[in-house]
Structure 1
Amino acid sequence: MKKLVICRHAKSSWEDPRLNDRVRPLSKRGLNDAPMMANRMQTNHVFPEKILSSKALRAKMTAEFYLATFEKMNVEYEESEALYMASAQEHLVEIKKTSNKIDTLFIFGHNPGMTELINYLGEPLENLPTAAYMGFKFEVNSWENINATNARFWMYDFPKNPSPKTS
């Protein structure tokens, strides 16, 4: 079984409008939400074996809070330029490159591609909020074989959620 957790970066700062989009850091809210969401994940006993992040600063900063939360687990970490503003299909291309020794992958990126990916996998969602995540399980042995027909909703959580939804 393969498990995929799709994580949108936490709220970014627009304090300096001159900054290139790729180097925008997290806002104060984002700096609070990212570790809170990582801790919720840990509390629910959901652990990554690998974290794959967009190279944009706000995505990397969000992923780093998860790495810190799970630091004792020797989580594999990789950054991919291809995840910056990727479409659902571009996300799938990157996900399918994951080694089959990895069973649980967390991917950090941006909208609209993250929401498109969630909808492609069969869970209707208008917008994946900042710092939110949605997970899917796939009854397959290879990342190459994941698709919309074998995706099964697993969990959904977001910062303002009083009761996370799991299957």
Structure 2
Amino acid sequence: MKTLHLIRHAKSSWKDASLADIDRPLAPKGIRACAVMAPEIAKTGCDFSHVFTSPAARARETIERIADSLKTLSFTWTVTEKLYTFSAHDLLEFCRDDLPADIDQAVIVGHNPAFHDFCNRMGDTTIEKLPTCAYARLEQNTDSWTDIGPRTMQLTVFLTPKMFIRGFIKNKGLINE
């Protein structure tokens, strides 16, 4: 069984227009989303042993903040230039050509529209929207990453920050009902 855990980077800041796209950091909303999503992603059984992230500041900061929120879990990540892509085709090539054959699970932190299109092309379900800091798990009963292709994977988990944000804010005492 091969399992891909896709985490779209959290909401980025457009505050400093002079920054190149690759250098944009997370916005405050994105920082909060990481804190909300980290425990929810962990509850799904996501294995963070092999994380591959885009070199974009917002992607690196997303995995750093998720790791900071899950101090009891072991994280290892590799910054991978090929993941600074907005193409599902490039993402598929990375999975087939660059994921180590001896690992069965990989976490990839990256960008839309690559992630949205990848989920919809490779998976068995159509996702209407893959928002920032969303998590999607795709699985395929195979022994090789090279077997991944259109409609060969099953979407087994899909989480978005909106699913949890109200409860998170309520638990922090920021709203009363």
TM-score (norm 2): 0.84
Partner Cα separation in structure 1 for residue 66 and residue 146 of structure 2: 25
Partner residue in 2 for 1:104: 105
CA distance in 2, matches of 1:51, 1:71: 16
Q: Which residue of 2 aligns with 1:95?
A: 95
Distance in 2 (alpha carbons) for counterparts of 1:161 and 1:73: 23
Residues 69 and 3 (structure 1 numbering): CA distance in 2 closer, same or farther, change over 3 Å? farther
Task: Note if contact 1:49-1:102 (Cα within 8 Å) is conserved in structure 2.
Answer: no
Give the corresponding residue for 2:158: 156
- Mapped contact 1:52–1:106 kept (Cα < 8 A): yes
Please, which moves more after superposition, 2-11 or 37-46? 37-46
* Residue number in structure 2 paired with 1:52: 52
Judged with a 3 Å threshold, the aligned counterparts in structure 2 of structure 1 residues 11 and 77 are, in CA distance, closer, same or farther, namely: same
Q: Which has the higher strand share?
A: 1
- Match of 1:86, SS? coil
- CA distance in 2 between counterparts of 1:72 and 1:142 reads 30
Q: Deviations over 1:77-128 (max 9, x none)?
A: 1111121133111001112211122211111111111111111113312331
**Segment drifting more, 80-89 vs 25-34:** 80-89
Structure 1 runs of 4+ aligned residues shifted over 6 Å read none
1:29 matched residue in structure 2: 29
The answer as to whether partners of 2:52 and 2:108 remain within 8 angstroms in 1 is yes
Count of residues in Structure 1 that have an aligned counterpart in Structure 2 = 162
Q: Which residue of 2 aligns with 1:145?
A: 147
User: CA, structure 1 residues 120+39, in 2 after alignment: closer, same or farther (shift >3 Å)?
Assistant: same
- What is the SS of the residue equivalent to 2:161? coil
Higher helix share: 2
Cα contact 1:9–1:130 (8 A) shared by 2: yes
Q: Which residue of 2 aligns with 1:3?
A: 3
Please name the residue that 1:12 is paired with. 12
Structure 1 residue 52, shift from structure 2 partner: 0.8
**Secondary structure, in 3 states, of the residue corresponding to 2:30?**
helix
Across the aligned residues of Structure 1 and Structure 2, the Cα RMSD in angstroms comes to 1.7
Contact 2:7/2:135 (<8 A) preserved: yes
Offset, 1:138: 0.7
1:165 is matched with: none
**For residue 36 of structure 2, what is the amino acid of its counterpart?**
M
Gapped regions of structure 1 (runs ≥ 5): 163-167
Letter in 1 for 2:45: H
SS of the equivalent of 1:4 reads strand
Give the partner amino acid of 2:86.
A
Q: Which runs of 5+ in 2 are unaligned?
A: 165-177
- Displacement of 1:47: 2.1
Find the structure with the greater CA-based Rg: 2
Partner amino acid for 1:134? A
